[in-house]
Amino acid sequence: MKRDLENSVGELTRLAELGQIFARHGLKNLGSLLGIMPVSEKEPDTEDLRPASVVALLRDVGPVGIKLGQLLATRSDLFTQPWISAFGTLHDQVEPLPFDKIEPVIVSAWGSDWEREFAAFERNPIASASIAQTYVATLLDGSETIVKVRRPGMASRIEADMRLLTRLAGLAERRSSDIARYRPVEFLQTFGKNLAREMDLAAEARACERIGGYLEMLGVKTPEIHWELTGMTINVQEALVGKPASRHPATDPAGNARFAKRYADAVLRMILLNGEFHGDPHPGNVFWMEGNQVGFIDFGSVGFLSGARRQEIVRLIFAIANDQIDKVADLLLDWAGNPLVDRAQLVMDLDELIEEFRGTALVGIEFSAIFDRVFGLLRDYRLALPPDLAVLLRTLLTAEGFVRSLAPDYNIAEETKPIVMQLFAERFSIGAARDHLAKVRSGLLDFSASLPDLIDNVASVARSGTIQVSIDPASLNHLTREEDRSTPVKGPVVAALIISAALLADQSLLLAGIVLAFAGIALIPRWN
């Protein structure tokens, strides 16, 4: 109770601070809509919002505002280009704290004699962001490492701001149906989870290891983690030998093309085949290593695509390839939460959009051009994408932009073909079919377990000679149909055959298919 009271008092103080920030940037209408400021006599609206004012506000809000703005810079499905450009100016670079402010975090994690773990520790950070500062250090065995330390007091401040923003978003949803369509509460909840994961530096290290295990099979390097020195507030990882791709001189066209191909292949396979991927693969997080080897660092931002979501992407690709525009529309509407829209017009607009690219060689298509048109259509119909797909599209656009800066003639869409075909193969593989049949078999076994009870009930009826029944009068007509009277009862036989097929599925799909065929034959009515 005491903690709740403290949170309430803290939130009231923060609410007052936010009100001052909104007023300072001339955004009283937006503040009224969010419940931060008193509601004026006229209905508050957001028509007069200017990108520069909102960006300045987000910057003043602090780390949460900056991180939120960076995420909004990827949401072309929600904002037009002027807004995207404005959000893109929010950089997560802050003045570094002096080391004497950071050292208490290190002492808390490693003890007062922490320096004994290192042969050298450079006290001037090489990078300073809103959540953590990064240092270079050498271990006693001579290993060069990168040490990432969370800034003190950051976790409690971010958690408090996220609680408050989520409550305000709920209020805005209730006040405005237009805002509710974009599901800001769901958006902020996902954003908050990702931010909490980013603050947990051990979680970042675990993501690096998990995704790194997959990338290793592709010949891509990620840092080794020194787990004996890693925790929630500090992680220590190998310093990759090379340099960030953002600082690599682009003087070798052939080498650039090889690096671009390896990088694009890694990004696409992480997304479509692994399902967990680096969420921000910009040139500063990509290392150019000896022999044009690719390395990835900084796994604070991670994207996830469930197996179900990846299969939805396959369905979308199939629907587009087969001109099934209705299915494309259904999938987009499902992703947006099935809002009320003019579906017929949406189908027509989708057909027109797809027609522009129909018949075009894949090598001539740019992801950015397609996404630009799709995002415009989504904005017209106010259809917001789920957060996981927004991260996916941000990653793809980041990757394509980087690849084209290295090799202008390289086409990332062309490289997608073999990967998508592998994804198709996984969907229609024998293993996938067996998994599906296993689910069917499980259901049938549950049903078969109830058969003895059903048989006992039938025997009871036979002994007593009576049974209570309730018949729908509308169903009486079915009793007079000739085919119903002449069709023998085959239920037990068919059920046994189906159950047998399900049990055989793990051993032989061919035998299972044969048994299912007999079950189908048993269901065919006999004609006189």
Q: What is the mean pLDDT of residues 478-488?
A: 44
Tell me phi and psi for residue 199, to 5 degrees: -75, -25
Residue 4's pLDDT is 44
Helix axes 412-427, 387-406, angle to 10 degrees: 140
Domain-by-domain residue ranges, the chain? Answer: 97-151+199-301, 154-195, 304-409, 489-521
Return the structure tokens found at 489: 């009862």
Give φ, ψ of 243 to 5 degrees. Answer: -145, 155
Return d(Cα 76, Cα 89) in angstroms, integer. 15
- Measured CA to CA, the distance from residue 479 to residue 16 in angstroms comes to 74
- In this model, does residue 469 exceed pLDDT 50? no
pLDDT over 50 (residue 69): yes
Report pLDDT for 237.
Answer: 97
Residues 519, 498: contact at Cβ < 8 Å? yes
Helices (H), 25-50: 28-34
Fold of 97-151+199-301: Transferase(Phosphotransferase); domain 1 (1.10.510)
Nearest to 164 by CA among 72, 91, 65: 65
- Assigned token pair, 488: 């023998």
**pLDDT range class, residue 278, cuts 50, 70, 90:** very high
What are φ and ψ of residue 233, in 5° steps?
A: -100, -10
Residue 88 near residue 211 (C-beta atoms within 8 A):
no
Is the pLDDT score of 444 beyond 50?
Answer: no
In this prediction, residue 187 carries a pLDDT of 84
Residue with the bigger pLDDT between 360 and 231: it is 231
- Categorize the per-residue pLDDT at 475 as very low, low, confident or very high, splitting at 50, 70 and 90: very low
Q: Read off the pLDDT of residues 285-328 as tens digits, 9 standing for 90 and up.
A: 999 998 889 999 999 889 888 888 888 877 887 787 778 889 98
Mean pLDDT to the nearest integer, 437-454: 50
Lowest mean pLDDT among 214-223, 399-408, 476-485: 476-485
Check pLDDT > 90 for residue 6. no
pLDDT above 50 (res 483): no
Rg of the chain on CA atoms, in Å: 30
- Residue scoring higher pLDDT (14 or 426): 14
How high is the pLDDT of residue 482? 44
- Between CA 183 and CA 166 the distance in angstroms is 11
Query: Is the Cα torsion angle 323, 326, 329, 335 positive or negative in sign?
Result: negative
- If we measure between CA atoms, which residue out of 374, 375, 367 comes closest to residue 401? 367
Is pTM beyond 0.75? Reply is no
pLDDT digits (tens, 9 = 90+) for 318-330: 787 778 889 989 9
What is the average pLDDT score of the chain? Answer: 77
